[in-house]
Amino acid sequence: MKSLTTFLLVLATLASFGQVKEKPSITVTGVARVTVTPDLGVLNISVAEIQPKMGDAIKALGDKSNYYNALLKKMGFNEKDIRTTRFAVVKNKVYKDNEYQDSGYIASQNIRLAFSYDQKTLQKIVSEFSKSEKPIDFSFEFELSEQLKQKVQTQIIDYAVKDGNEKAMGIAKAAGLKLAAIKEITYGAWGRDSGLELVEKQHRYAASVAATDAFQTFNFTPEDLVFRDALTIIWVVE
């Protein structure tokens, strides 16, 4: 009988706990946008060679790439900052007699150089390319350095938290409630992984320079980039 009484007491206790209502809460999403001017310029040089034999195409590509690398090093850029990307060798297909026929091989790659952006450096690159013995197909784009990216990340989180708190206070006031404490903060939104999202893409500036081209007055500035981020805040209310 004593055991039965104890068992019933435990059940009653569990039932009473189950009847305790969870404190009401307000869930808001804090959103922030930050506009920032890029501090890195990125030079991309497209290199390609077509030769009857694969080996000859690869060798010609290497020779041309070495020429461009030497030109960049002559301008004072560090060799370790000059990277090769997107290397590929494919058959060269030519449309002839109503069909595509093999006509040698195309070897291609991209030379990438990131540098601290300023007009003087950009002007120097274009000026030297305009004097090149070989034609150069190249483009510029602009990015954030890791240091600036971290600064923007910290700033945008601060803005997002403030935005979320202001929304929560506005909702609580309108509903006649009082904010008690933050229960939970979840970083990230937009149905994606957490982190900055670039909502306005970098603009690419392309040019093809031969030795006879006059690019001495070549000049432009990078457009600002717009990033956004978000987080969810749950407030306990009274």
3-state secondary structure 76-115: CCCHHHEEEEEEEEEEEEEEECCEEEEEEEEEEEEEEEEE
Note down pLDDT in tens along the chain; length 238 residues. 555 444 444 445 545 445 546 789 999 999 999 989 899 999 999 999 999 999 999 999 999 999 999 999 999 999 999 999 999 999 987 777 766 777 889 999 999 999 999 888 988 999 899 899 889 999 999 889 999 999 998 999 999 999 999 999 999 999 999 999 999 998 876 555 556 776 655 455 555 544 444 445 556 678 888 888 899 999 999 8
pTM value > 0.75:
no
In the structure encoding, which two tokens stand for residue 23, read together? 């404190």
Domain positions in the chain are 20-39+142-238, 42-116
In the structure encoding, which two tokens stand for residue 110, read together? 């991209």
Question: What 3-state DSSP class applies to 203?
Answer: coil
For the domain covering 20-39+142-238, report its CATH number: 3.30.110.170
Residue 122 phi, psi (nearest 5): -65, -45
CATH architecture of 42-116: 2-Layer Sandwich (3.30)
Distance (Å, rounded) from C-alpha 126 to C-alpha 67? 16
Question: What 3-state DSSP class applies to 19?
Answer: coil
Residue 67's DSSP bridge partners are: none
Question: What 3-state DSSP class applies to 49?
Answer: strand
